[in-house]
Amino acid sequence: MQHGLTPFFAPRGVAIIGASATPNKLSYGILRNMTLYGFQGQIAPVNPKADQILGLTCYPDITSVPDPLDLAVIVLPAPAIPATLEACGQRGIRAVIIISGGFKEVGEEGAALEKQILEIAARYQMRLIGPNCVGTLDLYSGLNTTFIQGVPEKGGIGFISQSGAVGGGVVDYIRNKYIGFANFASLGNEADITETDVIEYLRQDEHTRVIAVYVEMIRDGQRFIQVARQTTPHKPIVLLKAGRTSAGARAVSSHTGSLAGSHAAYRAAFLQAGVIEAETVTDLFDISMALAHQPLPQGNRVAIITNAGGPAALLSDSLAEHGLQIADLEEQTRSALRGRLNPAAQVSNPIDMLGGAEPPEYEFALQQALADPNVDVAVVILVPQALVNPLEVAEKIVQVAAAHTKPVLTCFMGEWSVEKARQHLHSHGIPMYVFPEIPGRVLGAMLQYARWLNQPPYETVPLHGIDRNAAAQILAQAADQTALGEAQTRPLFEAYGIPLVAGEAAHSPQQAAEAARRLGFPVALKIISADILHKSDVGGIRLNLNDPQSVETAYQDMFSSIAARLPQARLEGVLVERMAEKGQEVIIGMRRDPNFGPLMMFGLGGIYVELFGDVSFRVAPLSRRDALEMIQQTHAGKLLSGFRGAEPGDLQAVVDVILRLSQLALDFPQIAEMEINPLRVFPHGVLALDGRIILS
Amino acid sequence: MQHGLTPFFAPRGVAIIGASATPNKLSYGILRNMTLYGFQGQIAPVNPKADQILGLTCYPDITSVPDPLDLAVIVLPAPAIPATLEACGQRGIRAVIIISGGFKEVGEEGAALEKQILEIAARYQMRLIGPNCVGTLDLYSGLNTTFIQGVPEKGGIGFISQSGAVGGGVVDYIRNKYIGFANFASLGNEADITETDVIEYLRQDEHTRVIAVYVEMIRDGQRFIQVARQTTPHKPIVLLKAGRTSAGARAVSSHTGSLAGSHAAYRAAFLQAGVIEAETVTDLFDISMALAHQPLPQGNRVAIITNAGGPAALLSDSLAEHGLQIADLEEQTRSALRGRLNPAAQVSNPIDMLGGAEPPEYEFALQQALADPNVDVAVVILVPQALVNPLEVAEKIVQVAAAHTKPVLTCFMGEWSVEKARQHLHSHGIPMYVFPEIPGRVLGAMLQYARWLNQPPYETVPLHGIDRNAAAQILAQAADQTALGEAQTRPLFEAYGIPLVAGEAAHSPQQAAEAARRLGFPVALKIISADILHKSDVGGIRLNLNDPQSVETAYQDMFSSIAARLPQARLEGVLVERMAEKGQEVIIGMRRDPNFGPLMMFGLGGIYVELFGDVSFRVAPLSRRDALEMIQQTHAGKLLSGFRGAEPGDLQAVVDVILRLSQLALDFPQIAEMEINPLRVFPHGVLALDGRIILS
């Protein structure tokens, strides 16, 4: 079955509404691009003032355009668009690209207009790309609804960009470099179709082998995760997110009027869905190019074949920094190399054939390296030498790589003298990078994706012993509060099966002493007061009380000293808790992200979490593996795993608390923030020692 | 006075010894390059088999070449070189470049040959570049002793490369990009002239405005620091070091046969000498280009002028990641922009003029931004648009920038349609980067250099109360040991004025109890034994002993339990030490680096130093400021400075211990490693609680 977005990339006929006959207008540029790249369907300019443009019959309105007609591209001033869209709907068109700006991005009035066109589209079950975008192009159907000059070569990258400018700049940079694209979609304001929709389309597009994405904001984070998680087992997604820092996020939101959310949520979502995060625009295409056309590495052992030592050293640094290692070549390989290369050549890895290396030596060395069972990947480096023809070396590399199933990347360090070599390599699917640091970074990303593919699929976790009704009741009673202290979070956590340190509320010194007797000594007392969130700041915690008399005295002291400091505070009583045994302390928290929903946090307790920023994040819901990886990603995780001979903590019990807390967050959207701090971890089991909740 | 290295860049006459008449030989390439770039001095090919090459008179030997003759370039097989060098010496030549390989890099025999040519050079007071290099070029004298095809434009970058290949690759990449070079030197094996020598030369070269360096190893680290520290106040040094990781270091050493040393030492040396460390080859030239031709920023507030929001967001991220901020424009500036730009334009920073922005709008916005007192730097972004001519925008930028003294960088995102704009910008000293992340990184480096220039100069620290003779005596007595335990390090540290916890050695339970009485309770006992370095591992430490009886008992227990566990260990007695008050614990250490000498280490005590790798390094000798920065660079430094309301520690006392320990390391080269662990830090003063030394 045809995907609903197919008309945006391979329609049977396209109308360009507002096509101008004046060559310096954008709409003329679009029409011209439609005619340049072999599009086989109908191309129908719509303009009441012309009969023909570029030799194409021009129609006065959309109604008069004959079949077949699947797609309308609108390039009219914003105020004229609602009526035009109505006409498209009546004509039966179900796919419309609105190039024009003047909508949400220009303020309130534009936002109202955008809402209006969305309503019209919904009425006719039309899908929209844009407004405020530069259109789509498809290298296989020949469709080009953009006004960008030139197109990339045909290849395997499907590129989705929220920014038309970034898309245009990339195309301008990439043309003539033979980096092959399957298609490109610029999405602009994303009034209807979002990056997630196009990812879903490209998942099943036969020509797209890797999905490259530039985004400034992902509005429906949960759906993105779901769609990405269904896509990455089939083809990789490489994504660049602008607005990683608060300065960047401000720039994004001043530009699109959107709330970008926190990058911690994005980063977590990418990890959980197997999305490779690019760091820069170049990074995005360096990685995509390799994933589109090279097999994945089966391991991390790299052979380097080079005619110069310096670049090999730079590459070695970069490989090490990205989790790869220099392969130990078999003695057989080394002796074969020794027999054939310059006697002064270095035959252990890196294989340095020295400056005079000719194409046949490259051929031989690459063959040997790829045949070595200790090698998972080969990177070939060439530094231009006066007497060696880079194109001939490229030809040998293409031949040898085609006879093997291991990935081959290259670094030809230069530009002027390696252009033909690049063309040959790229048009045969072998990435050529100019500088030796790049292949290390690219291989790191390929390895990350290969490992992702080997993971078992995402599994939801059934949690037992959860009393959702009890929790709902507690939260309903607290509906007018903004924050819940420990005395209120205890029953809530209890309802979700989170282990708590043994404790009871008491409302007099005598009750406290009796509670302590029941719980067993030593105990701690903690003040209960809706007016006090930070108990320790006001002397509201007493620890290590060993007998009933100390409990009574501590109760009285605490009440009188707090009353003296905070005469307004209503003091309801104390929590009496049995002192827990020693153990490593961690924090588990949740903050609700505007785009992704509950964002879970795990980190080391005490002052070190702040000093070292040692925390990790995941978006709920989490699988058991997500939660475990979240712990292992931190230094706190190393401590819990028995760092330096310490007794390991009960990781599975921590995982269980993370999952239960995330379920609580998913079940009750009114919880804005939540924290168990500290959770004490023992060799067997864990105990929550304190908690708080902020309601929205 | 002329610098001794001038003949390598601007000689009055050059002989090419071994110049071939065959066009596909490297030596022919060199001769041809000598004739291509306007060199005004004599060019004399030396080859007994030819009368003329390329129309130049050819001489049978070096003796017959007439004056003027300052430089010989030798391109002969390695075994022929000693005799040729002798002849050069006799001819009175004092500058020789040996292009040929076949020396240290090919093994022992080559190393012997290299030693031989060094001896010949010394005898004639000749200076050598190479062997195994690609020569030098100077864009101002027109000298070109390389066989690289093409040269960069004339400009301000002086480029030193230990690797000829990296140099050649860079030149190949950079030609036609109008990135201006003053000169280039490839140094090969550095048998005589090193990167440090050339830095010293370029410091006084009038055309060189920034020194860009690629190194694999710096052999004389102390001299490098000294020379770099004298250079950076006059012109910046930007340096890329290969072999940062152990894989990279192995690749370097297999290639050059050198011991690369630890990157911690390099990194520290660069910090101490104001050298900007580049991360990649592109980074090296991105930064150098800006430093060569743009003024330094006087602050970190950046104005962004753009025709597209996405790239501005990516730039904003990059700026934030490199310590810059988005300037708050004055209301006056914003209102001027509002009056002139597209009504839908964004006039707060980033100034987003939207896709239709024409050259006059770029001109106006840049003028306004540079005139704003809240702006220190402007970055102009252009994404190619069908109707805007990038060259015209470039022309406006050049005009406006010339009328202001603030730095201006640009990002023109593309390649195909922005080539002319790049040429215009670069030939007027304004860097153009293709992708928006780069200017952020470059400005970070410029800011780092501007701050370095504002620091007071390096000052040596006079240390009082050091008894070097006493230390020498202790070390002489220990000359046959490989390690010194606490009992031996105490008097050594004492001689260097390092505060020690009060303590005495005791050799019986009774002596220990008496010592404890003198010192005051509570005390600790620590075993003294040359056979035990890790006292706590064998139960050799007892803490918190409160009375003489406990001391005697602890002494006896300790001896009998250690004797049972380690019957062979010779137990000499115990150190009795008064228990110190509580305080933050840190480590101060020293490891001798093969290239840089004593490398000082500072870090947090306890398991956290290992868990978080929270340590910093500096090369001795240190200034007081170096030591303070070394502390502040770590998270431990934040703790000592009073993190989260904790009482601050005595930073100056820690600085003093670092300086005294580094003096001890400088004075006694037989100390291979040294550690005070822990040093306990109080609000006033510090105490060394334990120490050990490894001798070489």
CATH number of the domain within which B528 lies:
3.30.1490.20
- Answer yes or no: is A458 within a domain: no
Contact A101 B352 (CB under 8 A): no
- Answer yes or no: is A553 within a domain: yes
Confidence (pLDDT) at A23: 87
Distance between CA atoms of residues B71 and B12, nearest Å: 8
B111 forms bridges with which residues in the sheet?
none
pLDDT above 60 (res B660): yes
pLDDT above 70 (res A689): yes
Distance between CA atoms of residues A492 and A633, nearest Å: 28
Maximum Cα–Cα distance for chain A, whole Å?
Answer: 101
- Answer yes or no: is B484 within a domain: no
| Closest residue on chain B to A152 (Cα) | B416
Query: Which of A6, A5, A39, A140 is CA-nearest to residue A16?
Result: A39
Same domain for B358 and B376, yes or no, is yes
Residues 6+ apart with CB under 8 A from B638: A611, B632
Alpha helices in B633-678 (DSSP H): 635-640, 651-667
Q: Using alpha carbons only, give the angle B510, B515, B518 rounded to the nearest 5 degrees.
A: 130
Same domain for B72 and B150, yes or no, is yes
Same domain for A480 and A442, yes or no, is no
Residues 6+ apart with CB under 8 A from A536: none
Same domain for B220 and B176, yes or no, is yes
A549-553, A608-612, B460-464, B482-486: range with highest mean pLDDT: A549-553
**DSSP letter string over B59-116?**
BSSGGGPPSP--EEEE-S-GGGHHHHHHHHHHHT--EEEE----SGGG-HHHHHHHHH
Question: Chain B residues with CB inside 8 Å of A107's CB?
Answer: 344
Contact B418 A280 (CB under 8 A): no
Same domain for B55 and B167, yes or no, is yes
Contact status, residue B597 vs residue B617, Cβ threshold 8 Å: no
Residue range(s) defining the domain that contains residue B598: 584-695
- The pLDDT of B81-101, averaged and rounded, is 96
Tokens of B151: 């040269």
Confidence (pLDDT) at B533: 73
Distance between CA atoms of residues B244 and B248, nearest Å: 6
Same domain for B410 and B538, yes or no, is no
Contact B413 A308 (CB under 8 A): no
User: Over the Cα atoms of chain A, what is R_g?
Assistant: 32
Compute the mean pLDDT over every residue in chain A, rounded to the nearest whole number: 93
Tokens of A424: 């040959």
Same domain for B106 and B150, yes or no, is yes
DSSP at A500: B
Residue among B242, B252, B317 minimizing CB distance to A243 = B317
| Closest residue on chain B to A388 (Cα) | B24
A3: how many CB neighbours lie within 10 A of its CB?
15
The count of structural domains within chain B is 4
Question: Chain A residues with CB inside 8 Å of B385's CB?
Answer: 168
Q: Using alpha carbons only, give the angle B52, B56, B61 rounded to the nearest 5 degrees.
A: 65
- The pLDDT of B548-560, averaged and rounded, is 94
Interface test with A, best of B217, B337, B416 (most A CBs within 10 A): B416
pLDDT above 60 (res A258): no
pLDDT by residue (tens digit) across B100-154? 999 998 888 999 999 999 999 999 999 999 999 999 999 999 999 999 888 999 9
| Closest residue on chain A to B29 (Cα) | A386
- The pLDDT of B293-315, averaged and rounded, is 96
Considering only residues B165 and B34, tell me which one the structure prediction assigns the higher pLDDT.
B34
B254: how many CB neighbours lie within 10 A of its CB?
18
pLDDT by residue (tens digit) across B235-274? 999 999 998 888 888 777 666 555 556 899 999 999 999 9
CA distance to B26, B36, B205, B368, per residue, from B146 (Å): 9, 12, 20, 47
pLDDT by residue (tens digit) across B21-47? 998 888 999 999 999 999 999 999 999
| Closest residue on chain A to B385 (Cα) | A148
Which of residues B562, B579, B596 is at a domain's end?
A: B579
User: What CATH number has the domain bearing residue A378?
Assistant: 3.40.50.261
B98: how many CB neighbours lie within 10 A of its CB?
31
Same domain for B48 and B126, yes or no, is yes
Contact status, residue B317 vs residue B323, Cβ threshold 8 Å: no
Confidence (pLDDT) at A471: 97
Contact A387 B246 (CB under 8 A): no
DSSP at A80: G
Per-residue pLDDT band for B367 (boundaries 50, 70, 90) equals very high
Same domain for B255 and B302, yes or no, is no
Question: Chain A residues with CB inside 8 Å of B149's CB?
Answer: 384, 386, 416-417
- Answer yes or no: is A65 within a domain: yes
- Answer yes or no: is B468 within a domain: no
Question: Chain B residues with CB inside 8 Å of A248's CB?
Answer: 313-314, 316-317, 320
CA distance to A613, B497, B636, per residue, from A607 (Å): 10, 34, 12
Contact B312 A251 (CB under 8 A): yes
Residue among A102, A172, A316 minimizing CB distance to B251 = A316
- Answer yes or no: is B462 within a domain: no
pLDDT by residue (tens digit) across A102-129? 999 888 899 999 999 999 999 999 999 9
Contact A352 B255 (CB under 8 A): yes
- Answer yes or no: is B622 within a domain: yes
- The pLDDT of A528-540, averaged and rounded, is 84
Question: Chain A residues with CB inside 8 Å of B256's CB?
Answer: 309
Contact B310 A163 (CB under 8 A): yes
Same domain for B321 and B383, yes or no, is yes
Residue among A214, A216, A317 minimizing CB distance to B245 = A317
Per-residue pLDDT band for A624 (boundaries 50, 70, 90) equals very high
Confidence (pLDDT) at B260: 55
Q: How many residues does chain A have?
A: 696
Confidence (pLDDT) at A255: 64
Distance of CA B122 to the CA centre of its chain: 30
Confidence (pLDDT) at B612: 81
Residue among B164, B168, B607 minimizing CB distance to A643 = B607
DSSP at B109: H
Q: Using alpha carbons only, give the angle B208, B214, B219 rounded to the nearest 5 degrees.
A: 105
Confidence (pLDDT) at A653: 97
Beta strands in B497-572 (DSSP E): 503-506, 523-528, 541-545
Tokens of A591: 């903050």
**DSSP letter string over B164-183?**
HHHHHHHHHHHTTTT-EEEE
Residue among B165, B247, B316 minimizing CB distance to A320 = B247
Same domain for A591 and A561, yes or no, is no
Confidence (pLDDT) at A259: 57
Confidence (pLDDT) at B255: 62
Per-residue pLDDT band for B676 (boundaries 50, 70, 90) equals very high
Same domain for A500 and A523, yes or no, is yes
Phi then psi for A588, rounded to 5 degrees?
A: -125, 125
Query: Which of B144, B188, B140 is CA-nearest to residue B31?
Result: B144
SS3 call for B584? strand
Question: Chain A residues with CB inside 8 Å of B168's CB?
Answer: 383-385, 414
Which of residues A578, A596, A623 is at a domain's end?
A: A578
List Cβ<8 Å contacts ≥24 apart for A338-346. A340/A364, A341/A365, A344/B101, A344/B102, A344/B105, A344/B106, A344/B107, A346/A309, A346/B254, A346/B255
Question: Chain A residues with CB inside 8 Å of B244's CB?
Answer: 317
Contact B417 A172 (CB under 8 A): yes
CA distance to A101, A113, B615, per residue, from A79 (Å): 10, 8, 62
Tokens of A103: 């909508």
Place of tokens 């500036």: B333
- Answer yes or no: is B1 within a domain: no
Portion of chain B with pLDDT greater than 70, in percent: 98
Residues 6+ apart with CB under 8 A from A371: A333, A404
Pairs across A and B, CB distance < 8 A: 286
- Residue A138, H or E segment: strand A136-138
Contact B386 A101 (CB under 8 A): no
Distance between CA atoms of residues B657 and B654, nearest Å: 5
Which of residues B266, B290, B314 is at a domain's end?
A: B290
Distance between CA atoms of residues A548 and A552, nearest Å: 6
- Residue B293, H or E segment: helix B281-293
| Closest residue on chain A to B325 (Cα) | A247
- The pLDDT of B444-449, averaged and rounded, is 98
A67: how many CB neighbours lie within 10 A of its CB?
10
Contact B102 A344 (CB under 8 A): yes
Per-residue pLDDT band for B606 (boundaries 50, 70, 90) equals confident
What is the value of pTM for the model shown? 0.93
Distance between CA atoms of residues B680 and B689, nearest Å: 7
**3-state SS string over A177-208?**
CCCEEEEEEECCCCCCCCHHHHHHHHHCCCCC
pLDDT by residue (tens digit) across A54-67? 999 999 999 999 99
